[in-house]
A = this chain, B = another copy of it.
Amino acid sequence: MLNDYQLLRIPGPTPIPPSVQRAMTKPMIGHRDQETKDLLKQIKPKLRKLFGTKEDVAIVAGSGTAGMEAAVVNTVTPGDEVLVLVTGAFGDRFVKICEAYNLHVHRLDYPWGVALRPEEIQEYLLHHPFIKAVFATHCETSTGVLNPIQELAASIKEVTDALFIVDGVSSVGGVEVNMDDWQIDICVTGSQKALMLPPGLVFIAASKNAWNTIEHNQHPRFYLDLRKYRDNQQFDSTPFTPAISLLYGLEQSLQLLDSEGLANVWKRHQLMKQMTRAAFEAHGIPLLTNDTDASPTVTAIQPFNFHPDNVRQLVKKEFGLVLAGGQQQLKGKIFRIGHMGYCTPADILQTISCLELGLAKLGILYNVGIGVNAAQHAYLRGGSP
Protein backbone atom coordinates (compact mmCIF):
# COMPACT_ATOMS: atom_id res chain seq x y z
CA MET A 1 0.00 0.00 0.00
CA LEU A 2 1.21 3.45 -0.97
CA ASN A 3 2.06 5.22 2.24
CA ASP A 4 0.91 8.73 2.99
CA TYR A 5 -2.32 8.05 1.10
CA GLN A 6 -5.68 8.36 2.79
CA LEU A 7 -9.26 8.82 1.66
CA LEU A 8 -10.82 10.45 4.72
CA ARG A 9 -14.55 9.77 4.57
CA ILE A 10 -15.56 10.13 8.20
CA PRO A 11 -18.14 12.72 9.26
CA GLY A 12 -15.42 15.11 10.43
CA PRO A 13 -12.65 16.02 10.54
CA THR A 14 -12.99 16.25 6.78
CA PRO A 15 -10.25 16.76 4.17
CA ILE A 16 -8.76 20.25 3.86
CA PRO A 17 -8.71 21.91 0.40
CA PRO A 18 -5.15 22.66 -0.75
CA SER A 19 -5.77 26.41 -0.88
CA VAL A 20 -7.06 26.34 2.70
CA GLN A 21 -4.04 24.32 3.77
CA ARG A 22 -1.80 26.88 2.10
CA ALA A 23 -3.63 29.79 3.66
CA MET A 24 -3.04 28.29 7.10
CA THR A 25 0.71 28.36 6.59
CA LYS A 26 0.85 32.13 6.28
CA PRO A 27 3.18 33.73 8.84
CA MET A 28 1.81 34.56 12.27
CA ILE A 29 0.59 38.09 12.80
CA GLY A 30 -0.06 40.05 15.97
CA HIS A 31 -3.55 39.26 17.21
CA ARG A 32 -4.05 42.90 18.16
CA ASP A 33 -2.59 44.26 14.92
CA GLN A 34 -4.40 45.66 11.92
CA GLU A 35 -3.77 42.47 9.91
CA THR A 36 -5.94 40.43 12.26
CA LYS A 37 -8.63 43.12 12.22
CA ASP A 38 -8.61 43.03 8.43
CA LEU A 39 -8.94 39.26 8.49
CA LEU A 40 -11.89 39.34 10.88
CA LYS A 41 -13.54 42.09 8.85
CA GLN A 42 -13.31 39.94 5.68
CA ILE A 43 -14.79 36.95 7.45
CA LYS A 44 -17.71 38.68 9.17
CA PRO A 45 -20.21 39.17 6.31
CA LYS A 46 -19.55 35.72 4.87
CA LEU A 47 -20.28 34.02 8.18
CA ARG A 48 -23.55 35.93 8.52
CA LYS A 49 -24.59 34.74 5.08
CA LEU A 50 -23.65 31.16 5.94
CA PHE A 51 -25.92 31.18 8.99
CA GLY A 52 -28.67 33.14 7.24
CA THR A 53 -28.63 35.90 9.81
CA LYS A 54 -28.10 39.64 10.01
CA GLU A 55 -26.39 39.23 13.39
CA ASP A 56 -22.67 38.79 13.81
CA VAL A 57 -21.38 35.29 14.38
CA ALA A 58 -18.99 34.75 17.29
CA ILE A 59 -15.79 32.87 16.45
CA VAL A 60 -14.45 31.00 19.48
CA ALA A 61 -11.25 28.97 19.65
CA GLY A 62 -12.58 25.65 20.87
CA SER A 63 -14.31 22.45 19.79
CA GLY A 64 -17.98 22.08 18.91
CA THR A 65 -18.74 21.16 22.51
CA ALA A 66 -17.41 24.53 23.68
CA GLY A 67 -19.97 26.16 21.40
CA MET A 68 -22.76 23.96 22.75
CA GLU A 69 -21.72 24.89 26.28
CA ALA A 70 -21.68 28.57 25.30
CA ALA A 71 -25.27 28.20 24.09
CA VAL A 72 -26.21 26.87 27.53
CA VAL A 73 -24.33 29.17 29.90
CA ASN A 74 -25.33 32.33 28.05
CA THR A 75 -29.05 31.65 28.04
CA VAL A 76 -30.12 29.85 31.20
CA THR A 77 -29.33 29.65 34.93
CA PRO A 78 -29.34 26.73 37.37
CA GLY A 79 -32.83 25.47 38.05
CA ASP A 80 -34.22 26.70 34.75
CA GLU A 81 -36.40 24.27 32.88
CA VAL A 82 -35.05 23.24 29.48
CA LEU A 83 -36.19 20.71 26.92
CA VAL A 84 -33.52 18.66 25.19
CA LEU A 85 -34.47 16.66 22.12
CA VAL A 86 -32.29 13.60 21.86
CA THR A 87 -31.97 11.77 18.55
CA GLY A 88 -28.45 10.46 19.10
CA ALA A 89 -25.09 10.99 20.79
CA PHE A 90 -24.99 14.73 20.24
CA GLY A 91 -28.48 15.35 21.58
CA ASP A 92 -27.29 13.39 24.59
CA ARG A 93 -24.31 15.73 24.90
CA PHE A 94 -26.66 18.72 25.27
CA VAL A 95 -28.33 16.81 28.13
CA LYS A 96 -24.97 16.23 29.83
CA ILE A 97 -24.00 19.91 29.53
CA CYS A 98 -27.36 21.03 30.90
CA GLU A 99 -27.12 18.57 33.77
CA ALA A 100 -23.58 19.71 34.59
CA TYR A 101 -25.07 23.18 35.15
CA ASN A 102 -27.90 21.88 37.33
CA LEU A 103 -30.68 22.78 34.97
CA HIS A 104 -34.05 21.12 35.26
CA VAL A 105 -33.77 18.96 32.16
CA HIS A 106 -36.77 17.57 30.31
CA ARG A 107 -35.51 15.10 27.78
CA LEU A 108 -37.42 13.67 24.86
CA ASP A 109 -35.75 10.67 23.30
CA TYR A 110 -36.28 9.40 19.80
CA PRO A 111 -34.99 6.07 18.54
CA TRP A 112 -31.51 6.52 17.10
CA GLY A 113 -31.85 6.76 13.34
CA VAL A 114 -35.26 8.48 13.39
CA ALA A 115 -35.90 12.23 13.13
CA LEU A 116 -37.77 14.10 15.84
CA ARG A 117 -41.46 14.94 15.39
CA PRO A 118 -42.28 18.67 15.65
CA GLU A 119 -45.97 18.13 16.49
CA GLU A 120 -45.12 15.96 19.51
CA ILE A 121 -42.71 18.58 20.73
CA GLN A 122 -45.28 21.32 20.37
CA GLU A 123 -47.66 19.20 22.42
CA TYR A 124 -45.01 18.68 25.07
CA LEU A 125 -44.28 22.40 25.30
CA LEU A 126 -47.99 23.19 25.69
CA HIS A 127 -47.98 20.99 28.77
CA HIS A 128 -44.74 22.45 30.16
CA PRO A 129 -45.09 26.22 29.90
CA PHE A 130 -42.05 27.03 32.10
CA ILE A 131 -39.49 25.62 29.71
CA LYS A 132 -37.08 28.46 28.88
CA ALA A 133 -35.08 26.88 26.10
CA VAL A 134 -35.37 24.01 23.64
CA PHE A 135 -32.19 22.30 22.49
CA ALA A 136 -32.07 20.30 19.28
CA THR A 137 -29.52 18.80 16.91
CA HIS A 138 -29.82 19.67 13.24
CA CYS A 139 -27.73 16.88 11.75
CA GLU A 140 -27.25 14.13 14.31
CA THR A 141 -23.76 13.01 13.25
CA SER A 142 -24.00 9.74 15.19
CA THR A 143 -26.93 8.47 13.11
CA GLY A 144 -26.95 10.52 9.92
CA VAL A 145 -30.38 11.97 10.71
CA LEU A 146 -31.22 15.50 9.63
CA ASN A 147 -33.89 16.78 11.98
CA PRO A 148 -36.59 19.05 10.46
CA ILE A 149 -35.33 22.19 12.15
CA GLN A 150 -37.38 24.69 10.15
CA GLU A 151 -40.67 22.93 10.94
CA LEU A 152 -39.62 22.43 14.54
CA ALA A 153 -38.82 26.12 14.95
CA ALA A 154 -42.26 27.05 13.60
CA SER A 155 -43.97 24.57 15.94
CA ILE A 156 -42.08 25.85 18.95
CA LYS A 157 -42.59 29.53 18.22
CA GLU A 158 -46.33 28.94 17.80
CA VAL A 159 -46.72 27.96 21.44
CA THR A 160 -43.88 29.40 23.50
CA ASP A 161 -41.33 32.18 23.91
CA ALA A 162 -38.66 29.64 24.83
CA LEU A 163 -35.36 30.08 23.02
CA PHE A 164 -34.72 27.59 20.26
CA ILE A 165 -31.11 26.46 20.30
CA VAL A 166 -29.65 24.36 17.51
CA ASP A 167 -26.49 22.30 17.24
CA GLY A 168 -25.63 22.83 13.58
CA VAL A 169 -22.18 21.27 13.82
CA SER A 170 -22.45 18.86 10.91
CA SER A 171 -25.09 20.79 8.99
CA VAL A 172 -24.06 24.45 8.54
CA GLY A 173 -22.26 24.78 5.22
CA GLY A 174 -23.58 21.44 3.96
CA VAL A 175 -27.31 22.06 4.14
CA GLU A 176 -29.43 25.18 4.22
CA VAL A 177 -29.64 26.98 7.53
CA ASN A 178 -31.64 30.16 7.62
CA MET A 179 -31.54 31.40 11.19
CA ASP A 180 -33.47 34.62 10.84
CA ASP A 181 -36.26 33.34 8.60
CA TRP A 182 -36.66 30.10 10.49
CA GLN A 183 -36.50 31.79 13.92
CA ILE A 184 -33.58 29.86 15.32
CA ASP A 185 -32.31 31.69 18.39
CA ILE A 186 -28.87 30.19 18.70
CA CYS A 187 -27.00 28.12 16.16
CA VAL A 188 -23.61 26.55 16.70
CA THR A 189 -21.24 24.96 14.22
CA GLY A 190 -17.66 23.64 14.18
CA SER A 191 -14.82 24.17 11.78
CA GLN A 192 -14.00 20.53 10.95
CA LYS A 193 -17.17 19.52 9.10
CA ALA A 194 -18.71 21.20 6.08
CA LEU A 195 -16.46 24.24 6.57
CA MET A 196 -13.44 22.23 5.36
CA LEU A 197 -11.14 23.31 8.17
CA PRO A 198 -9.25 21.45 10.88
CA PRO A 199 -10.97 21.22 14.28
CA GLY A 200 -10.34 24.15 16.61
CA LEU A 201 -12.95 26.80 15.87
CA VAL A 202 -16.58 26.96 16.90
CA PHE A 203 -19.08 29.49 15.59
CA ILE A 204 -22.05 30.75 17.59
CA ALA A 205 -24.78 32.97 16.18
CA ALA A 206 -27.60 34.39 18.26
CA SER A 207 -30.87 36.06 17.25
CA LYS A 208 -31.99 39.51 18.49
CA ASN A 209 -34.37 37.63 20.73
CA ALA A 210 -31.55 35.53 22.16
CA TRP A 211 -29.36 38.59 22.72
CA ASN A 212 -32.05 40.03 25.02
CA THR A 213 -31.71 36.96 27.19
CA ILE A 214 -27.91 36.70 26.90
CA GLU A 215 -27.48 40.36 27.86
CA HIS A 216 -29.25 39.92 31.18
CA ASN A 217 -28.49 36.30 31.95
CA GLN A 218 -26.79 36.06 35.36
CA HIS A 219 -25.13 32.70 34.82
CA PRO A 220 -21.41 32.96 35.63
CA ARG A 221 -19.22 32.58 32.54
CA PHE A 222 -16.01 34.08 31.28
CA TYR A 223 -14.29 32.52 28.24
CA LEU A 224 -17.64 31.54 26.76
CA ASP A 225 -19.38 34.86 27.53
CA LEU A 226 -20.86 35.73 24.15
CA ARG A 227 -21.23 39.41 25.13
CA LYS A 228 -17.44 39.72 25.16
CA TYR A 229 -17.23 38.35 21.62
CA ARG A 230 -20.01 40.62 20.35
CA ASP A 231 -18.54 43.73 21.95
CA ASN A 232 -15.10 43.08 20.49
CA GLN A 233 -16.49 42.08 17.12
CA GLN A 234 -17.83 45.58 16.60
CA PHE A 235 -14.21 46.65 16.35
CA ASP A 236 -13.17 43.57 14.35
CA SER A 237 -11.45 42.19 17.36
CA THR A 238 -11.68 39.24 19.72
CA PRO A 239 -11.83 39.14 23.53
CA PHE A 240 -9.12 36.46 23.74
CA THR A 241 -6.28 35.35 21.50
CA PRO A 242 -7.84 33.99 18.31
CA ALA A 243 -6.56 30.85 16.53
CA ILE A 244 -4.91 32.86 13.77
CA SER A 245 -3.94 30.08 11.34
CA LEU A 246 -7.48 28.71 11.48
CA LEU A 247 -8.79 32.20 10.72
CA TYR A 248 -6.58 32.34 7.64
CA GLY A 249 -8.01 28.98 6.62
CA LEU A 250 -11.56 30.14 7.38
CA GLU A 251 -11.20 33.17 5.16
CA GLN A 252 -10.21 30.89 2.29
CA SER A 253 -12.84 28.21 2.93
CA LEU A 254 -15.58 30.85 3.05
CA GLN A 255 -14.17 32.16 -0.21
CA LEU A 256 -14.50 28.69 -1.73
CA LEU A 257 -18.11 28.31 -0.52
CA ASP A 258 -18.87 31.74 -1.87
CA SER A 259 -17.41 31.13 -5.30
CA GLU A 260 -19.23 27.82 -5.66
CA GLY A 261 -22.42 29.49 -4.41
CA LEU A 262 -24.17 28.23 -1.26
CA ALA A 263 -27.15 26.87 -3.21
CA ASN A 264 -24.75 24.81 -5.34
CA VAL A 265 -22.92 23.61 -2.25
CA TRP A 266 -26.19 22.34 -0.76
CA LYS A 267 -27.14 20.73 -4.06
CA ARG A 268 -23.78 18.95 -4.18
CA HIS A 269 -24.33 17.55 -0.70
CA GLN A 270 -27.86 16.45 -1.60
CA LEU A 271 -26.53 14.65 -4.65
CA MET A 272 -23.82 12.88 -2.61
CA LYS A 273 -26.51 11.68 -0.20
CA GLN A 274 -28.63 10.30 -3.03
CA MET A 275 -25.66 8.57 -4.65
CA THR A 276 -24.54 6.97 -1.40
CA ARG A 277 -28.00 5.75 -0.48
CA ALA A 278 -28.69 4.42 -3.97
CA ALA A 279 -25.53 2.29 -3.78
CA PHE A 280 -26.53 0.48 -0.57
CA GLU A 281 -30.15 0.14 -1.62
CA ALA A 282 -28.98 -1.58 -4.81
CA HIS A 283 -27.18 -4.15 -2.66
CA GLY A 284 -30.04 -4.52 -0.18
CA ILE A 285 -27.70 -3.42 2.60
CA PRO A 286 -29.93 -1.60 5.11
CA LEU A 287 -29.49 2.08 5.82
CA LEU A 288 -30.10 3.20 9.39
CA THR A 289 -32.34 6.08 8.35
CA ASN A 290 -35.12 6.52 5.82
CA ASP A 291 -34.84 8.88 2.85
CA THR A 292 -36.78 11.73 4.44
CA ASP A 293 -34.86 11.69 7.69
CA ALA A 294 -31.41 11.21 6.14
CA SER A 295 -28.78 13.94 6.18
CA PRO A 296 -26.97 15.18 3.07
CA THR A 297 -23.72 15.20 5.07
CA VAL A 298 -23.41 11.72 6.57
CA THR A 299 -24.91 8.30 5.88
CA ALA A 300 -25.15 5.47 8.42
CA ILE A 301 -25.29 1.88 7.16
CA GLN A 302 -26.60 -0.91 9.38
CA PRO A 303 -25.62 -4.24 7.85
CA PHE A 304 -27.31 -7.42 9.06
CA ASN A 305 -24.89 -10.01 7.73
CA PHE A 306 -21.45 -8.62 8.49
CA HIS A 307 -19.65 -6.74 11.21
CA PRO A 308 -19.11 -3.16 10.06
CA ASP A 309 -15.72 -2.94 11.73
CA ASN A 310 -14.34 -5.80 9.61
CA VAL A 311 -15.00 -4.04 6.35
CA ARG A 312 -13.79 -0.73 7.79
CA GLN A 313 -10.47 -2.35 8.70
CA LEU A 314 -10.12 -3.99 5.31
CA VAL A 315 -10.82 -0.89 3.20
CA LYS A 316 -8.46 1.14 5.35
CA LYS A 317 -5.70 -1.41 4.77
CA GLU A 318 -6.39 -1.93 1.06
CA PHE A 319 -7.38 1.52 -0.11
CA GLY A 320 -6.54 3.94 2.71
CA LEU A 321 -10.29 4.53 2.88
CA VAL A 322 -11.26 5.70 6.36
CA LEU A 323 -14.88 5.26 7.43
CA ALA A 324 -16.44 5.87 10.85
CA GLY A 325 -17.95 3.25 13.15
CA GLY A 326 -20.96 3.59 15.41
CA GLN A 327 -21.02 5.46 18.70
CA GLN A 328 -22.49 4.38 22.06
CA GLN A 329 -25.53 2.14 21.50
CA LEU A 330 -24.71 1.83 17.78
CA LYS A 331 -21.09 0.77 18.36
CA GLY A 332 -20.35 -2.32 16.27
CA LYS A 333 -23.77 -2.09 14.65
CA ILE A 334 -23.33 0.58 11.98
CA PHE A 335 -20.67 2.30 9.95
CA ARG A 336 -20.83 5.85 8.70
CA ILE A 337 -19.67 7.59 5.54
CA GLY A 338 -19.02 11.29 5.80
CA HIS A 339 -19.79 13.18 2.60
CA MET A 340 -19.44 16.81 3.46
CA GLY A 341 -17.08 19.68 2.89
CA TYR A 342 -14.23 19.01 0.50
CA CYS A 343 -15.97 16.01 -1.04
CA THR A 344 -17.57 15.52 -4.44
CA PRO A 345 -19.66 12.98 -6.35
CA ALA A 346 -16.36 11.63 -7.75
CA ASP A 347 -15.35 10.78 -4.19
CA ILE A 348 -18.61 8.95 -3.58
CA LEU A 349 -18.04 6.81 -6.67
CA GLN A 350 -14.58 6.02 -5.36
CA THR A 351 -15.79 5.25 -1.85
CA ILE A 352 -18.55 2.95 -3.04
CA SER A 353 -16.43 1.06 -5.57
CA CYS A 354 -13.70 0.48 -2.96
CA LEU A 355 -16.26 -0.59 -0.35
CA GLU A 356 -17.72 -3.10 -2.77
CA LEU A 357 -14.27 -4.60 -3.27
CA GLY A 358 -13.76 -4.75 0.49
CA LEU A 359 -17.05 -6.60 0.93
CA ALA A 360 -16.21 -8.92 -1.94
CA LYS A 361 -12.84 -9.76 -0.40
CA LEU A 362 -14.61 -10.59 2.85
CA GLY A 363 -16.91 -12.94 0.94
CA ILE A 364 -19.96 -10.89 1.88
CA LEU A 365 -20.87 -9.51 -1.50
CA TYR A 366 -20.77 -11.20 -4.87
CA ASN A 367 -22.45 -8.73 -7.21
CA VAL A 368 -19.67 -6.15 -7.14
CA GLY A 369 -20.41 -3.10 -9.28
CA ILE A 370 -24.15 -2.72 -8.86
CA GLY A 371 -23.64 -0.25 -6.01
CA VAL A 372 -21.33 2.11 -7.85
CA ASN A 373 -23.57 1.77 -10.89
CA ALA A 374 -26.61 2.79 -8.83
CA ALA A 375 -24.61 5.77 -7.57
CA GLN A 376 -23.75 6.66 -11.16
CA HIS A 377 -27.41 6.56 -12.13
CA ALA A 378 -28.31 8.70 -9.12
CA TYR A 379 -25.76 11.18 -10.39
CA LEU A 380 -27.22 11.20 -13.87
CA ARG A 381 -30.72 11.71 -12.44
CA GLY A 382 -29.51 14.44 -10.11
CA GLY A 383 -27.72 16.51 -12.71
CA SER A 384 -24.46 18.33 -12.22
CA PRO A 385 -23.70 19.52 -8.72
Which residues of A are interface residues toward B (Cβ below 8 A)? Answer: 1-5, 7, 17-20, 25, 256, 259-260, 264-265, 268, 318-321, 342, 344-347, 349-350, 353-354, 356-357, 360-361, 368-370, 372-373, 375-377, 379-380, 384-385
Q: How many copies does the complex hold?
A: 2
Within the assembled complex, what's the spacing in Å between the Cα atoms of A264 and B353? 22
Within the assembled complex, what's the spacing in Å between the Cα atoms of A344 and B2? 7
Q: How far is the CB of A229 from chain B (nearest CB, A)?
A: 29
Cβ-defined contact, B361 with A380, below 8 A = yes
Q: How far is the CB of A175 from chain B (nearest CB, A)?
A: 16
Cβ-defined contact, A342 with B5, below 8 A = yes
Within the assembled complex, what's the spacing in Å between the Cα atoms of A376 and B354? 8
If A256-B2, A259-B3 touch, does A349 touch B346 (CB 8 Å cutoff)?
no
Cβ-defined contact, B360 with A380, below 8 A = yes
- Please give, as numbers and ranges, the residues of chain B lying within 8 Å of A356 by CB-CB distance: 376
Interface SS of A by simple majority: helix
- Please give, as numbers and ranges, the residues of chain B lying within 8 Å of A375 by CB-CB distance: 353
- Please give, as numbers and ranges, the residues of chain B lying within 8 Å of A350 by CB-CB distance: 346-347, 349-350, 353
Interface-centre pick from A1, A7, A344, A375 (highest chain B CB count, 10 A):
A344
Within the assembled complex, what's the spacing in Å between the Cα atoms of A25 and B25? 10
Within the assembled complex, what's the spacing in Å between the Cα atoms of A320 and B344? 10
Within the assembled complex, what's the spacing in Å between the Cα atoms of A319 and B264? 14
Q: How far is the CB of A213 from chain B (nearest CB, A)?
A: 38
